C-alpha cells in the first residue's frame, strides 16, 4: 500500500502545480502621474486640479473619508456647472441633506485626466473660512478606487499608478481595512481600560482621534477624572461642538502612540456609525506614515516617515477664528477657555499674533500651537486697537 500511495501523492502535487501555473496574474502597476500637495492645519491634504473644460485651477482636499467626489456649491455657481437634484442624501457632522449632482465631469490633475466623474454639490464655505483659502471640493472614493495612490509626506508628493501588481517597500505594515466606500480599520486604544475597536481611516479629518460620545459612555473607556475642554470642529454641514482631551494610548498594527489628543463627539447624525464603529482616526496621526492606498486589493500600506516621532499638538485656546470678508475674525469663544480669560469678544478682528502681521490664518493658528506660550495678540474693535495676552493651555498637563 505504501508503494501505491507515493505515486498518487505525486500526481496530486502535479495537478496542483498545473492549476497554479494557470492562475491569472495582473500586469504590473505603472506610474502614470506624480504631483505635489500641501498640508494644512491638522494634516489636511490639498491639491490643485481643473474641472472639465473650465480654465480655473481649483483647490481640492484628498479625503479617504469621502465616499465619492464633490464640488463646492459656490464654485459650481461661479463656473455655472449644470446640476441636478438627486434623491440621495449625505451625512456630515452637522446634518443630513439631500444633494445635487453634476454628472459626467472630468478632473484634470497634472499629467492625468480622470473621466466620467459624478460630483455631488456641497457647501464648503465653513472650511474655506477655517483654512483661509478656497476649498473648491473634496476628492474621495471616485478617484481613489480607480488607481493605486501613494502619499509621501516627506516629499509632499502624490504618485498615481494603474491598477495591477505592486511590490510594497520594506519597513512598513500592511493594513487590510474593510472598504465599501470609506476604509474601516481596527486599532487598539487604552485609557481607563484597553479595547480593540473599528474606526474610519480618514485623511480628511484634521485630528488624531475622534470618539463617539455613545461609545465612550457605553464602554466606560475614558478615565473618570480626565479633564476635557469645550471646543468645536468644522465639517460637512457646518460646525459641531466637541470635547478635547487626551487618551493614554492608541496602537495601529505594531505602532504605538502615547498621550494621544482626542475629541469626543455627541454624534447626533451617527456619522461615526456607532455601534459598528467607535469613531475615526484622522490625518494628524496618519500623516506620520507614507501611504500606498490600493482599494482594489483592499490594502493600505503604511511606512513610518520623518514625522513619525513628532510631538502631538497639545495646545488649547478655545478661540474660534475664521476668515470673513478678507479679515480674520473671532467668531466663537469657548467658555472657561484661555480665549475667554484673555478677554476676546465675538467680532474682534485679529491684526497680529506675536508681532506677526501676515494676516494669514494658517500662520496665526501655528503660532497658537505652543502650549504654555504667552502671546500678545493685537485685535481691532470699533473703539480702536486692543492688545490682549493669552496663555495657550496644555491639554496634557492641564496648565
Provide the CATH number for the domain around residue 367.
Answer: 2.30.42.10
Question: Confidence band (pLDDT; 50, 70, 90) for 151?
Answer: very high
The torsion angle over the Cα atoms of residues 25, 157, 184 and 199, rounded to 10 degrees, is 160
Average pLDDT over every residue of 350-366: 96
pTM of the predicted model as reported, rounded to 2 decimal places: 0.90
DSSP 385: E
Considering the chain, what is the average pLDDT of its residues? 91
Q: Tell me, what's the pLDDT at 297?
A: 96
pLDDT of 208 over the 70 cut: yes
The strand pair at 384-391 and 374-381 is best described as: antiparallel
Question: Confidence band (pLDDT; 50, 70, 90) for 17?
Answer: very low
C-alpha pair distances (Å), 336 with each of 95, 246, 260, 306:
27, 18, 23, 37
- Rounded CA separation 361/359 (Å): 6
Q: Is residue 351 part of a domain?
A: yes
pLDDT of 373 over the 60 cut: yes
Q: Are residues 148 and 188 in the same domain?
A: no
Q: Are residues 35 and 123 in the same domain?
A: yes
Domain of 247? 178-286
The C-alpha cell 471640493 sits at 137
Q: Are residues 185 and 153 in the same domain?
A: no
Residue 171 has which C-alpha cell? Answer: 519597513
Q: Are residues 37 and 152 in the same domain?
A: yes
Q: Tell me, what's the pLDDT at 380?
A: 97
> Residue 229's closest CA among 243, 239, 242?
243
pLDDT of 91 over the 90 cut: no
The C-alpha cell 473619508 sits at 65
C-beta atoms surrounding 379 within 10 Å? 22
Q: Are residues 125 and 202 in the same domain?
A: no
137-146 tens-digit pLDDT: 999 999 999 9
Q: What is the CATH number of the domain that holds 98?
A: 2.40.70.10
Domain boundary among 271, 286, 301: 286
Q: Is residue 242 part of a domain?
A: yes
158-186 tens-digit pLDDT: 999 999 999 999 999 999 999 989 999 99
Q: Are residues 49 and 154 in the same domain?
A: yes
Q: Which 3 state secondary structure label does DSSP give 128?
A: helix
Amino acid at each position: 500500500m505504501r508503494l501505491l500511495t507515493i505515486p498518487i501523492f505525486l500526481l496530486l502535487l502535479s495537478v496542483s502545480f498545473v492549476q497554479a501555473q494557470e492562475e491569472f496574474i495582473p500586469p504590473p502597476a505603472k506610474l502614470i502621474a506624480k504631483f505635489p500637495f500641501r498640508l494644512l492645519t491638522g494634516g489636511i491634504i490639498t491639491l490643485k486640479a481643473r474641472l472639465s473644460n473650465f480654465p480655473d485651477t481649483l483647490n481640492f482636499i484628498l479625503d479617504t473619508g469621502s465616499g465619492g467626489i464633490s464640488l463646492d456649491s459656490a464654485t459650481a455657481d461661479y463656473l455655472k456647472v449644470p446640476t441636478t437634484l438627486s434623491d440621495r442624501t449625505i451625512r456630515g457632522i452637522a446634518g443630513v441633506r439631500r444633494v445635487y449632482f453634476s454628472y459626467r465631469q472630468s478632473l484634470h490633475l497634472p499629467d492625468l485626466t480622470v473621466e466620467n466623474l459624478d460630483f455631488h454639490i456641497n457647501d464648503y464655505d465653513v472650511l474655506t473660512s477655517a483654512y483661509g483659502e478656497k476649498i473648491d471640493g473634496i476628492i474621495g472614493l471616485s478617484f481613489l478606487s480607480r488607481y493605486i495612490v501613494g502619499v509621501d509626506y516627506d516629499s509632499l508628493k502624490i504618485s498615481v499608478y494603474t491598477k495591477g501588481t505592486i511590490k510594497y517597500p520594506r519597513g512598513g505594515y500592511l493594513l487590510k481595512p474593510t472598504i465599501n466606500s470609506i476604509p474601516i480599520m481596527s486599532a487598539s486604544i487604552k485609557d481607563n481600560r484597553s479595547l480593540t475597536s473599528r474606526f474610519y481611516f480618514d485623511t480628511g479629518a484634521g485630528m488624531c482621534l475622534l470618539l463617539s460620545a455613545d461609545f465612550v459612555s457605553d464602554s466606560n473607556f475614558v478615565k473618570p477624572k480626565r479633564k476635557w475642554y469645550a471646543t468645536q470642529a468644522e465639517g460637512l454641514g457646518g460646525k459641531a461642538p466637541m470635547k478635547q482631551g487626551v487618551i493614554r494610548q492608541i496602537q495601529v498594527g505594531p505602532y504605538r502612540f502615547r498621550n494621544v489628543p482626542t475629541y469626543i463627539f455627541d454624534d447626533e447624525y451617527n456619522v461615526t456609525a456607532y455601534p459598528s464603529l467607535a469613531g475615526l482616526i484622522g490625518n494628524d496621526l496618519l500623516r506620520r506614515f507614507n501611504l500606498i492606498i490600493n482599494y482594489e486589493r483592499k490594502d493600505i500600506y503604511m511606512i513610518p516617515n520623518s514625522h513619525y516621532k513628532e510631538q502631538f499638538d497639545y495646545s488649547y485656546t478655545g478661540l474660534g477664528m475664521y476668515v470673513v470678508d478678507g479679515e480674520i475674525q473671532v467668531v466663537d469663544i469657548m467658555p472657561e477657555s484661555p480665549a475667554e480669560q484673555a478677554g476676546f469678544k465675538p467680532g474682534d478682528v485679529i491684526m497680529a499674533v506675536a508681532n506677526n502681521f501676515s494676516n494669514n490664518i494658517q500662520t496665526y493658528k501655528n503660532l497658537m500651537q505652543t502650549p504654555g506660550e504667552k502671546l500678545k495678540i493685537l485685535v481691532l474693535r470699533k473703539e480702536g486697537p486692543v492688545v490682549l495676552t493669552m496663555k495657550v493651555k496644555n491639554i496634557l498637563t492641564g496648565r
